[in-house]
Amino acid sequence: MSAVKAVLFDMDNTLMDFVYAQVGACRAVATRLGNGNGVDLLDLFIRSHGQYESHSVIADYMASIGVYDFDLYFECCEIYDLTKLELIRPYDGVETMLATLKTMGVKTALVTNARRANAVIRLERAGLSGYFDVLVTADDTESVKPDPRHLEVALNLLGVRAEEALFVGDSIQRDVKAAKRIGMKAAYARYGDCNFFEARDETPDFFLCSPMEVLNLLELNASEADLHSGLKESLATQSRAFDFQAQGRS
């Protein structure tokens, strides 16, 4: 692996516990409707094939329990959005890890399937707004991962090649596959993976049990790069010595 010049991150369930926030938001909607604890609504979101922020899921849920009303629907959407945002928290160690990357001079990008407005407000809520050199969202490419265009745009803006970057994400299908398609190394944030119905048919290069382990990967990479550089210099020195000896015998 080439020396890592940039680390690209997914957002939800990689940097912040989005599922925790979504569970609380679904519970708040269910409470307003007087129907259960929100598990059924959460299940609809999980099975919505990528529409995990679409208010249409709330409409479908209300219709399924026979309580759909236009005004009540908009009230529930507001309850959902406000509760979800209120509960957004970064994982332990995320801010320290990002600050350390800045100190190390490693470039960073946030690459998310969320819309820009949602990404910006969540980053602000989590206190992570100032840590990224580049932000790429669905609004910038009109595509979603595993289409790698998000990553390609971020790499171009950062001025680094795919082999010089690492992508960190919680989804095998969306994140790991996207990175692999363009030759990037992929670190699987299994600490945040709640993709219960996702196929595990791609193998990441690295497995992370916590956000801070990103720093361990970079330290290992730097050691390997130093070793490789030292080996090349040693071979070059030996080659020059051999050439000198050959010239002396001629």
Q: From residue 212, how far is each of 96, 97, 140, 215 by CA, in Å?
A: 8, 6, 29, 6
* Angle formed at CA 66 by CA 63 and CA 67, multiple of 5 degrees: 85
Give pLDDT, residue 244. 46
Handedness of CA 98, 99, 102, 104 (dihedral sign): negative
Tens of pLDDT, residues 167-177: 999 999 999 99
Nearest CA among 54, 33, 195 for reference residue 138? 54
The length of the chain, given as a count of residues: 250
Helices (H), the chain: 18-33, 39-46, 56-64, 70-87, 94-104, 116-126, 138-141, 149-158, 177-181, 213-249
CA distances from 62 to 65, 69, 82, 246 (A): 5, 8, 19, 85
Q: Which residues pair with 165 in a beta bridge?
A: 6
Answer yes or no: are the C-beta atoms of 18 and 12 closer than 8 Å: yes
pLDDT (tens digit per residue) in 31-44? 999 998 999 999 99
Predicted local distance difference test score (pLDDT) of residue 92? 97
* Chain segment 166-204, per-residue pLDDT in tens: 999 999 999 999 999 999 999 999 999 988 777 788 899
Q: What's at 124, amino acid-wise?
A: E
Determine the average pLDDT of the residues in 108-112. Answer: 97
Inter-helix orientation angle 116-126/70-87, to 10°: 40
Average pLDDT along the chain: 88
The structural domains of the chain, with segments of one domain joined by +, span 6-16+91-223, 18-87
| Predicted pLDDT of residue 226 | 42
With beta carbons less than 8 A apart as the criterion, state whether 65 and 33 touch. yes
Task: Classify domain 6-16+91-223 at the CATH topology level.
Answer: Rossmann fold (3.40.50)
Contacts of 124 (CB under 8 A, 6+ apart): none
